[in-house]
Amino acid sequence: MPTPLDTLNASFGLPGTLHFDEAAPGLPVAHITTPLASASIALQGAQVLTWQPTGQQPVLWVSKAAIFEEGKPVRGGVPVCWPWFGAVPGKPMHGFVRTRLWQLRGAELDAPGQVVLRLGIGDDVATHSLWDHAFDLELTVTVGSTLTLALTTRNTGTQAFEITQALHTYLCTTEITQTTVQGLDACHYLDKVQDFAPCQQSGAVTFQSETDRIYTDTTADSLIVDAAGGRNLRIAKQGSASTVVWNPWTDKEKTMADMACGEYRQMLCVETCNAGPDAVSIPAGGAHTLVAIISVE
């Protein structure tokens, strides 16, 4: 009798390019290797875990203490936060799709040699108990010398609904105290560390303590300058009106069982979002696509 893993490999595997195994029982992961890049994507949460362009160091960060268990969020990669971003009393943090198993809808090698995966999830009895709307959610992941994530929300119901959302990208950096984020100068932000106090950015974002900010009303690229590592990472975006910048620093890190001691120094989240006041309303029958394009410069 073929296993679900056998079925995935038979239906979607690409010899020498794409194969599936399990990170833990019941947690299938797609592994991609091409002349352009390598990557891995967990079907739970449609979560890109790793991406490394050929000739470069890894771009996405995953904690050494990350938990790989069915129904548990993984600390790192690019979790999909949807249909809400952040905390909602009595409901799962960052929504419910990041801990559910998505369906693999398609896998192909395109003309430029990139691997394109389509993963989807729809509403059911369990989702209606948390968020009573009909929807179809699809993430298209394009793995090449750049990494493109396109998250399309379709309202398949008869009433409009409103969402907040994020592609919660964890990035590798060599030393956080020598890392800056450009592209947000003069933007307004809500500072979670100061109880969501409204603030305005001046110059590049720098890091000397816990940082947790929602930059609002911005469509700009973010350029992450890793001075100690001698490289820059760019995140361009579409369909996004906000950017979240987060580093837990030492005290917050100690409260997280799925982060190892001192790891905050080598990671940074720069997230492509519609968060805070930048919620998106989608009419019945309508759709919205949130896109993040990550590159190494």
What is the Cα–Cα distance from 138 to 34, expressed in whole angstroms?
Answer: 24
CA dihedral sign of residues 281, 197, 93, 264: positive
Who contacts 55 (Cβ-Cβ below 8 Å, separation ≥6)?
Answer: none
Give the CA-trace dihedral at 183, 204, 269, 295, to 10 degrees: 50
Which CATH number goes with the domain that contains 69? 2.70.98.10
pLDDT over threshold 80, residue 1: no
Strand partners, 14: 18
Catalytically active residues, by annotation = 168, 271
With a CB cutoff of 8 Å and minimum separation 6, the contacts of 269 are 168, 169, 170, 171, 244, 245, 246, 247
Looking at residue 2, its pLDDT comes to 72
Q: Total structural domains in the chain?
A: 1
Structure confidence at residue 270 as a pLDDT band (50, 70, 90): very high
Judge whether 150 and 290 are in contact, CB under 8 Å. Answer: yes
Contact 16, 33 (CB under 8 A): yes
127, 96 in Cβ contact below 8 A?
A: yes
Bridge partners, residue 1, by sequence:
none
pLDDT at 118: 98
Question: Residue 30: CA atoms inside 13 Å, Cβ hemisphere, count?
Answer: 36
Q: Is 8 exposed, middle or buried (0-12, 13-18, 19+ CB in 10 A)?
A: buried
Q: Residue 33: which domain range? A: 4-296
For the segment 212-259, what is each residue's pLDDT rounded down to a tens digit?
A: 999 999 999 999 999 999 999 999 999 999 999 999 999 999 999 999
Strands 179-182 and 231-238: unpaired
Residue 27, helix vs strand vs coil: strand
pLDDT at 210: 98
| Alpha carbon distance 131, 255 (integer Å) | 29
Q: Give the span between the Cα atoms of 281 and 164, in whole angstroms.
A: 9
3 Cβ contact list (under 8 Å, min separation 6): none
Q: Which tens digits make up the pLDDT trace of 50-84?
A: 999 999 999 999 999 999 999 999 999 999 999 99
CA distance 178 to 242: 24
Per residue in 90-133, pLDDT (tens digit) is 999 999 999 999 999 999 999 999 999 999 999 999 999 999 99
142, two tokens: 């394009």
Chain-wide mean pLDDT for the chain? 97
Place 3 in a pLDDT band, splitting at 50, 70 and 90.
confident
Q: pLDDT-based confidence at 188, cuts 50/70/90?
A: very high
d(CA 123, CA 139): 15
Whole-angstrom distance, CA of residue 155 vs CA of residue 162: 10
